[in-house]
Structure formats: C-alpha cells, structure tokens
C-alpha cells in the first residue's frame, strides 16, 4: 500500500499477514504458559507413622502377652487383605506381619480397623505359605503366631465380572 502526500514521496508499508499471525501465536503462547504455571500438583496424603498401632498407657503390673486371633481363612495368589484380632489390656506398641515374597522375607505393619481388629495388605505368591504375626504391648510383652496357608490361585477377573452382571440381571427378572 502506497500513500503519497502533496509535494512528497513518502511511502508507508503495511505489515504482511504472516507477521500478524506470528504476533498472535507468540502472544497466545505467553498467555497459555502463564496459565499453566499457576496450576499446582496435589500433595499425596501423609504416610502412616511407623508400626505404633495403639496409643495407650503402660500398665505397671502387666505381664500378659497380647492375644492374637487370626481372622483370615484363605489367601489367594496376589494381593490380599490379612485380618487379625489382637487384644491386650495395656494397648499395643507393635503389630506386624512377615511373609515370603520373591524369595525374600517381607515385613508389613498392621493398621487398626476397629476395636481389636487389625488389617494389612500383603502380596503372596506360591510357593510362599508361612505367615508370621508379631505383636508387643506397651509393657514389652510379646506374642507371635505362625500360620501355614495353601495359597489359592488368583480369581479369574473375567469370571468375577460375568458373575457380577449375571447376578444383577438375575435379580431384575
């Protein structure tokens, strides 16, 4: 585009379309970068602290070990929730489970579910079959239970889904 004034030969050039596109893309990129920088990553929940299970006071004349009752009857290959009932008058200091995993002994702490019931998530694979539960109370009395299981094959997930939907369809009719 050329514009001429009276008595002068001044020319004014308009920027081309490609320059306007470049300016628009650059400005949009800056706005987009600033908006993503304002987002944050949520923090994970706090991890459980140690193996301390109960917060009871130490009884001075307590000489009885905790009583451990295993509630889990079957273990399947893979991940399983293992439940026990551990009772003690002075409260528990330690509750843990030991089992074989990948030719190594793995120790996992129990988490209190409700009352005297505790649970732990374990992962067992055949030929592993021995489970050891250790417990200690506030007065340092200790108890150990050793249990042997036949590890059942992992349940077929497709069969479980089929049973679930057939149960729903069967209830409607």
Provide the pLDDT for residue 34: 46
**pLDDT tens, position by position, 80-127:** 899 999 999 888 899 999 998 878 899 999 999 988 999 999 998 888
Average pLDDT of the residues of the chain: 77
Characterise 91 by phi-psi region: left (phi > 0), alpha (psi -120 to 50), beta (else): left
Label residues 84-95 b or e (16+ Cβ within 10 Å = b).
bebebebbbbbb
> Tokens for 67?
């009583």
Nearest to 120 by CA among 107, 129, 130: 107
**pLDDT tens, position by position, 10-41:** 555 556 777 777 777 776 666 554 444 444 55
As a whole number of angstroms, the distance between CA 119 and CA 88 comes to: 16
**pLDDT tens, position by position, 55-71:** 555 556 778 899 999 99
Fold of 67-154: Immunoglobulin-like (2.60.40)
As a whole number of angstroms, the distance between CA 124 and CA 143 comes to: 23
Nearest to 62 by CA among 26, 91, 30, 104: 91
């Amino acid at each position: 585009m050329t514009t001429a004034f009276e008595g002068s030969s001044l020319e004014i050039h308009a920027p081309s379309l490609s320059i306007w596109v470049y300016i628009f893309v650059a400005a949009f990129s800056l706005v987009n970068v600033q908006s993503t920088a304002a987002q944050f990553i949520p923090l994970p929940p706090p991890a459980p602290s140690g193996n301390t299970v109960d917060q009871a006071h130490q009884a001075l004349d307590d000489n009885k070990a905790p009583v451990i009752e295993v509630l889990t009857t079957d273990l399947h290959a893979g991940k399983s929730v293992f439940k026990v009932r551990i009772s003690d008058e002075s409260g528990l200091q330690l509750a843990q489970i030991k089992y074989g995993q990948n030719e190594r002994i793995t120790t996992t702490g129990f988490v209190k579910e409700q009352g005297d019931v505790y649970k732990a998530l374990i992962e067992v694979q055949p030929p592993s079959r021995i489970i050891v539960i250790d417990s200690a109370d506030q007065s340092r009395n200790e108890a150990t239970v050793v249990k042997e299981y036949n590890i059942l094959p992992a349940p077929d997930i497709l069969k479980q889904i089929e049973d679930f939907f057939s149960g729903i369809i069967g209830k409607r009719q």
